[in-house]
Amino acid sequence: MAEAVITDDLMPASVEELVEAILSEMTLEEKAGQLNSVDASNPTPSERIGDDIRAGRVGAVLNQVELHEVCALQHIALEETRLGVPLLFSRDVIHGFNTVFPLPIGQASSWNPDMVREGARIAAAEAAATGVRWTFAPMVDISRDARWGRIAESLGEDPYLASVLGAAMVKGFQGDDLSAPGSIAACVKHYAGYGASEAGRDYAATTIADNEMRNVYLPPFKAAADAGAATFMTSFGDIDGVPATGNDYLINGILRGEIGFEGLMISDWDSIGQLIIHGFCEDPTEAAKVAAEAGVDMDMMSSAFVDCLPALVREGQMDEAVLDTMARRVLTLKFKLGVVDDPYADLHRDGTPPVKDALAAAQRAAAESMVLLKNKNDVLPLNFDALESLAVIGPLADQPEDQMGTWVFDGEAERSITPATAFKAALDGRAEVKFVPALTHSRDTNTAQIRHAVDAALKSDAVVLCLGEEAILSGEAHSRADITLPGAQVELARAIKATGKPVIGVILAGRPLALTNVENCFDALIYAWHPGSMGGPALVDLVSGAVAPSGKLPVSFPVSVGQIPIHYNHKNSGRPAEPHNVVHIDDIPVGAGQTSLGMSSFHLDDGYQPLYPFGHGLSYTQFDYGPVTVSAPGFAAGETLTVECELSNTGERDGVEVVQLYIRDRAGSLTRPVRELKAFRRVALKAGETTIVRFELTEADLAFSRRDKSFGAEPGLFDVWVGGDSTTQNGAHFRLTSAT
Ligand code: NOJ
């Protein structure tokens, strides 16, 4: 404290100059201290970690959002350390803060980057008002396994969709200026390949070939880096024998060397310490050296950096320049966020939007994130004016906590409006709403109350049946092997179906569930994910028709868990399945010949198609696509190809269609997926309206990481399709005649 280096007379100077000035004053221990991020959750952190802060052993703290504690900790750093470098406060602000937005997988179902950006902006402002300046989001891990609990936090199975939406989230959190009120630093995670965990078991090792890593898992990370993300986080995973936190090839090699990321890399929680548990390092000293030299700058919770790096440098086992680079990145982030200039900034520059506006945005987001999976006989929307009674049934119909979903530390359940409450409010004075939970929670196996639900259904014009999973069944370390509806919910659904009343199924869940055994119980089915604070009113908006459903699936829904991983952008194989070469197990003649069953790539019991494909989602109107045309049969590097098709709203209601463009590269130096999403657009059309939807393709849209690892397109024949989901057959061809 005696020699505080951060003084006003240093201003104004460039961030670089300011950082170098501090760095030049720092001891090895003080530099290493900046690299240490510790947990500051209660009990009373200032007593627990105060001495470490005083000793200059702490650079950042997680998980403290009580104003007086935040200020007390910051005060210690500023006034009681030798150099007075402020702390950086971080938190998992994943899908909202006090106001909770839909789960990221739900937000991804909106295919609306503007909405995703707005949600992140609001969350950032609410978080910053408590001193949080750094969130650990977005999570852009490509997720093709619905068993994995963290699919809830993901943006789905597709590299392009996750790239667009992940970049939007980064921009929302960070705004145009990191130091502005209400801006917080994003942290793109988990670098890399975490979503490929074997069998969907969290933390499990994985093997990802380089081609797969570069073409499937890395694109969203690159997009987030290009969007200006300030920080990245390593994954807990082990990729091909090298844990991500010690993976020099992935971090220094690809991320810094090839992608050009210059920001800060933090480990995941104790993932440096876990290098020992993985069997990759013998002790904390080796773990610290391996992680530091791989490109990790900050240590979340293992203390290996602060404990071991000074000695490693002193003993000549690690270059001091490595330590300097790491500390420089931490200090640079603090300056860019403005916490050095004004360490208590957002506490007095509150940019928080009014609660009313935040809730309105959360309601819009929830409505856009819900996907109408089926709507038999146009049972939806319900005509509220003609309703006399409505039964709202199910264990997820009135759960303010559960509807917020996983990774909600700061969400206020009092802000949640549940479906039961929202339907009662919307129909108040117009129709009777009978609410019967029937099961106390999603895993409840006690069927005693189901008869009350049946009773209510029989006395109602229609039923809204809210099923799904409690929030605790998805998220980190919450993987499931059986992803059907838990508890007695299938029994409940069958009993309600047997009443003969129109059944509107609503699934609130953190993952795509395997719905095959229950799907026929619903006349209409809305997949609501965990929709956040305003799930109830958003559902009423859709059910009443006030808002037309526009969500589209960001993941394929499996027929059964045995199909997993199932994703639309798979490789073709040498023997692709087609309707004519698959057989169902029930149709195999006894004594059938060994080679008589189709000899293609499918499951005898569950075929090869998902229950609902990627990109699927209905509206209350009908969208018809005209034929796809291309502006030329071919185009060369440097030129643009225009792809067009007519889109008509031929139904009787206004609607929004997410128009999707897919390509297939017919032959490459590496085999290419059977389809790849390359563009999409939300198009609003009034009933009866027609428009031309136009996309421009360039060589860059066709690029991939080629066999020699260079990035670019390859000349040759391509298919292009435009339609409302990933199965569309509405297509044309073109040729790329040259590539750079
Ligand atoms: C572990 C999780 O994997 C990561 O996503 C999260 O940000 C950190 N813990 C901090 O809570």
What lies within 8 Å, CB to CB, of 429 at 6+ separation is none
Cα distances (Å, whole numbers) of residue 6 to 79, 87, 332, 342: 11, 13, 13, 11
Q: What is the spatial distance between Cα 486 and Cα 473, in angstroms, rounded to a whole number?
A: 10
Strands (E), 51-139: 60-62, 88-91, 134-135
Residue whose CA lies nearest to ligand 1 atom number 9: 269
Q: Kindly tell me if the per-residue pLDDT of 506 is higher than 50.
A: yes
* Size of the chain, expressed as the number of residues it contains: 740
Among the atoms of ligand 1, which is closest to the Cα of residue 236?
A: 3
Query: For residue 225, how far is its CA from the centre of ligand 1 (angstroms)?
Result: 19
Q: Judging by beta carbons within 10 Å of its beta carbon (0-12, 13-18, 19+), is residue 482 exposed, middle or buried?
A: exposed
Percent above pLDDT 90 for the chain: 95
> Can 368-544 and 623-736 be said to share one CATH topology?
no
- What is the domain partition of the chain in residue ranges? 368-544, 569-609, 623-736
Q: Which of 269, 298, 410 to mutate to test the pocket of ligand 1 (most atoms within 8 A of CB)?
A: 269
Query: For residue 568, how far is its CA from the centre of ligand 1 (angstroms)?
Result: 29
56-75 average pLDDT score: 94
Q: What is the spatial distance between Cα 150 and Cα 168, in angstroms, rounded to a whole number?
A: 20
Q: Give residue-wise pLDDT tens across range 545-567.
A: 999 999 999 999 999 999 999 99
Instruction: Please give the structure tokens belonging to residue 659.
Output: 């128009």
CB 570 within 8 A of CB 674: yes
Question: Where does the pLDDT of residue 5 fall: very low under 50, low under 70, confident under 90, or very high at 90 and above?
Answer: low
Cα distances (Å, whole numbers) of residue 151 to 142, 196, 224, 458: 8, 10, 19, 37
290-295 average pLDDT score: 98
Q: What is the spatial distance between Cα 269 and Cα 271, in angstroms, rounded to a whole number?
A: 5
The DSSP 8-state label assigned to residue 495 in this structure reads H
Marked catalytic residue, from 268, 297, 346, 541: 268
Residue whose CA lies nearest to ligand 1 atom number 7: 136
Given the structure tokens 């360490």, which residue do they identify?
A: 343
Q: Which of 135, 136, 151, 234 to mutate to test the pocket of ligand 1 (most atoms within 8 A of CB)?
A: 136
Query: For residue 642, how far is its CA from the centre of ligand 1 (angstroms)?
Result: 43
At 2 the pLDDT is: 40
Q: What is the spatial distance between Cα 85 and Cα 370, in angstroms, rounded to a whole number?
A: 45
Instruction: Please give the structure tokens belonging to residue 573.
Output: 């194989």
- Name which CATH class applies to 368-544: alpha beta
What value does the mean pLDDT of the chain take?
Answer: 96
Query: For residue 149, how far is its CA from the centre of ligand 1 (angstroms)?
Result: 13
Stated pTM of the model = 0.97
Q: What is the spatial distance between Cα 616 and Cα 550, in angstroms, rounded to a whole number?
A: 10
Q: Give residue-wise pLDDT tens across range 101-146.
A: 999 999 999 999 999 999 999 999 999 999 999 999 999 999 999 9
Q: What is the spatial distance between Cα 487 and Cα 626, in angstroms, rounded to a whole number?
A: 46
Among the atoms of ligand 1, which is closest to the Cα of residue 139?
A: 5
Q: Which of 61, 92, 191, 479 to mutate to test the pocket of ligand 1 (most atoms within 8 A of CB)?
A: 92
> Is the C-alpha dihedral spanning 567, 218, 120, 414 positive or negative?
positive
CATH number of 623-736: 2.60.40.10
CB 443 within 8 A of CB 488: no
Amino acid present at 240: D
| 268 catalytically annotated | yes
Is the peptide bond prior to 353 cis by the omega test (within 30 degrees of 0)?
A: no
Given the structure tokens 């919450």, which residue do they identify?
A: 478
What lies within 8 Å, CB to CB, of 462 at 6+ separation is 379, 382, 387, 390, 391, 501, 502, 503, 504
Identify the bridge partners of residue 660 per DSSP, sorted by sequence position. Answer: 680, 723
Residue whose CA lies nearest to ligand 1 atom number 11: 92
Query: For residue 269, how far is its CA from the centre of ligand 1 (angstroms)?
Result: 6
Residue whose CA lies nearest to ligand 1 atom number 3: 268
Identify the residue with better confidence: 41 or 432: 432
Query: For residue 395, how far is its CA from the centre of ligand 1 (angstroms)?
Result: 29
Among the atoms of ligand 1, which is closest to the Cα of residue 137?
A: 7
Q: Which residue intervals of 448-526 are DSSP H helices?
A: 450-458, 489-497
Among the atoms of ligand 1, which is closest to the Cα of residue 189?
A: 5
At 352 the pLDDT is: 79
Residue whose CA lies nearest to ligand 1 atom number 4: 268
Identify the three-state secondary structure at position 117.
helix
Angle made by CA atoms 261, 267, 269, in degrees to the nearest 5: 150
What lies within 8 Å, CB to CB, of 20 at 6+ separation is 328
Query: For residue 630, how far is its CA from the centre of ligand 1 (angstroms)?
Result: 46
What number of H helices and E strands is found in the chain?
21, 27
Instruction: Please give the structure tokens belonging to residue 703.
Output: 């690029």
Among the atoms of ligand 1, which is closest to the Cα of residue 187?
A: 7
Q: Give residue-wise pLDDT tens across range 681-695.
A: 999 999 999 999 999
CB 206 within 8 A of CB 255: no
Instruction: Identify the residues whose C-beta falls under 6 Å from ligand 1.
Output: 92, 136, 189, 268-269, 476
436-441 average pLDDT score: 98
Query: For residue 268, how far is its CA from the centre of ligand 1 (angstroms)?
Result: 6
Q: Give residue-wise pLDDT tens across range 646-673.
A: 999 999 999 999 999 999 999 999 999 9
The DSSP 8-state label assigned to residue 210 in this structure reads H
